Amino acid sequence: MIEVSGLRKRYGQTMALDGMSFTVTPGRVTGFVGPNGAGKSTTMRVILGLDAADGGHALVGGRPYRSLRSPLRHLGALLDAAALHPGRTARHHLLWLAHSQGLGVRRVDEVIELVGLAPVARRRAGGFSLGMRQRLGIAAALLGDPPALMLDEPVNGLDPEGVVWIRGLLRSLAAEGRAVLVSSHLMSELQDTADHLVVVGRGRVVADTGVAELIEAASGGRVRLRTAEPAAAMDALARAGAVVAATGAGTVTVSGLVSERVVAVLGGSGVPFSEVAAHRATLEEAYMELTGDSVEFRAGLRASGSSRSSGSSGSWGDGR
């Protein structure tokens, strides 16, 4: 379990963390999302004791990280996959980490096997692709078999096979009862991975909610209707008290009526239709809904996304 409470951190003029508080509970994947510069990486560095917070505290299993004697057995972290000596082999990189935790070479070979690096374990890490480095970083995070894991943008730069692999790994780690925190600046990345979301902007939490609840709320009991005669359908439904909107060629979104009523009304009016389904919002739509009235957060979006501020929804730029 990871608990973050009231973290504050200022770098010069920039308020990086401004009362960041949330909890990562065992047995589920918690997505940590927000635009670049929202404070995700800083929060992770503070949790790991790399940066000192100006206020508040972060606890891992109820204790400050820096007080842990074998920290990798409590929390495994992947912050920056490139942060290793390029001349050392993957196996030797893991070996010194293992020795720092009182672990032996057997555990090193286990995690190498686990992340699929066995064929290249004795090669220098400097020659690794980004995907291989990510795997090596994940091997390091898993080294101490920790009950909590924290990964900063783990799918960045991975090929599709790697992305699928990471998603499956995160799911299975959570299923084993571990607390998993995974950050991303892309909502869509977390759609099928996270159970819970901590949405951040400008150094504080904007929303702390379950993924299912968030999508449920954003879907708002709307019904999507596919029909060859949208005008007649809209007319009939409006008369029945629904709020209707044409959302595409032959598609109408209906709110205020459950799908059974929609079917009955259309049937009664003799309007043909090919499909009536509950509208399911995407995580990105849910996110836009969520932050639609958060003026300050939108300002934060603009401030951080220089080139992409007017770009497609849910993507706030690259890197950190």
Partner 1 sequence: MTRPVPGTGTRLREVHAEWTKLRTAPGTLWTVLALVAVTVATSAAASALVSCPSSGCGHDAVRIGLAGVQAGQAVTAVAAVLAITGEYGTGMIRATFTAMPRRGAVLAAKAVVVAGLTLASGTVAVLGSLLAARLVLPHSGFTPEHGFPPLSLADGPTLRAAAGSVLYLALIALFSLGVATAVRDSAAAAGVVLGLLYALAAVPFVMVPDPDWQLLLWRISPMNAGLAVQSTANLSALPLTPWQGVAVLTAWTAASLLLAALLLRRRDA
| Residue 175 binds partner 1 (CB under 8 A) | no
Q: Can you tell me the distance from the alpha carbon of 239 to that of 41, in angstroms, rounded to the nearest whole number?
A: 52
- Window contacting partner 1 (CB under 8 A); options: 142-150, 156-164, 235-243, 288-296: 142-150
Binding flag, residue 51, partner 1 (CB under 8 A): yes
Q: Is 92 in the site for partner 1 (CB under 8 A)?
A: yes
Q: Among 33-41, 90-98, 293-301, 309-317, which window interacts with partner 1 (CB under 8 A)? A: 90-98
At 185, give phi and psi (nearest 5°).
-100, 5
Closest approach of Cβ 147 to partner 1, in Å?
A: 5
Choosing from 2, 38, 140, 240, the residue that interacts with partner 1 (CB under 8 A) is 140
**Options 92-100, 194-202, 266-274, 305-313: segment touching partner 1 (CB under 8 A):** 92-100
> Applying CB under 8 A, which of residues 10, 18, 59, 88 lies at the interface with partner 1?
88
Looking at residue 191, its amino acid is Q
Task: Report which residue type is found at 91.
Answer: R
Give the number of residues written for the chain: 320
- Binding test (CB under 8 A) with partner 1, winner from 80, 113, 159, 260: 80
How many of the chain's residues bind partner 1 (CB under 8 A)? 43
Indicate the helix (H) or strand (E) that contains 261: helix 259-269
Q: Residues 181-200 vs partner 1: string with x where CB under 8 A?
A: --------------------
Could you identify the residue written with the tokens 């595409």? Answer: 248
Task: Return the number of the residue (66 or 280) whose C-beta is nearest partner 1.
Answer: 66
Query: Which one among 25, 36, 89, 259 touches partner 1, defined by CB under 8 A?
Result: 89
How many other C-beta atoms can be found within 10 angstroms of the C-beta atom of residue 213?
12
Stretch that binds partner 1, among 48-56, 113-121, 214-222, 258-266 (CB under 8 A): 48-56
Q: How many helices, marked H, and strands, marked E, lie in the chain? A: 11, 13
- Give the CA radius of gyration of the chain: 24
Instruction: Work out how close the CB of 296 gets to partner 1 at its nearest, in angstroms, rounded to a whole number.
Output: 27
> Residue from 87, 116, 168, 241 that binds partner 1 (CB under 8 A)?
87
Q: Return the closest-CA partner of residue 184 out of 167, 209, 160.
A: 167
Shortest Å, Cβ 223 to partner 1: 46
The yes or no reply on residue 239 touching partner 1 (CB under 8 A) is no
Q: What are phi and psi of 175, to 5 degrees?
A: -65, -25
Interface residues for partner 1 in 97-136 (CB under 8 A)? 97, 99-104, 107, 124
**150, 99, 94, 147: which is closest to 125 by C-alpha?**
94
Q: Which residues of the chain form beta strands (DSSP E)?
A: 2-11, 14-24, 29-33, 55-60, 75-78, 148-152, 179-184, 196-201, 204-210, 223-226, 243-248, 251-255, 275-278
Among 20, 58, 79, 197, binds partner 1 (CB under 8 A): 79
Quick one: 217 exposed, middle or buried, by C-beta within 10 A (0-12, 13-18, 19+)? middle
Q: Which is nearer to partner 1, 11 or 296 (CB)?
A: 11
Residue 256 beta carbon to partner 1: minimum distance, rounded to whole angstroms: 50
295 touches partner 1 (CB under 8 A): no
In DSSP notation, 76-129 reads EEES-TT-S-TTSBHHHHHHHHHHHTT--HHHHHHHHHHTT-GGGTTSBGGG--
Q: Are 288 and 215 in contact (CB under 8 A)?
A: no
Q: Would you tell me which residues interact with partner 1 (CB under 8 A)? A: 45, 48-52, 65-73, 77, 79-80, 82-89, 92, 95-97, 99-104, 107, 124, 140, 145-147, 178
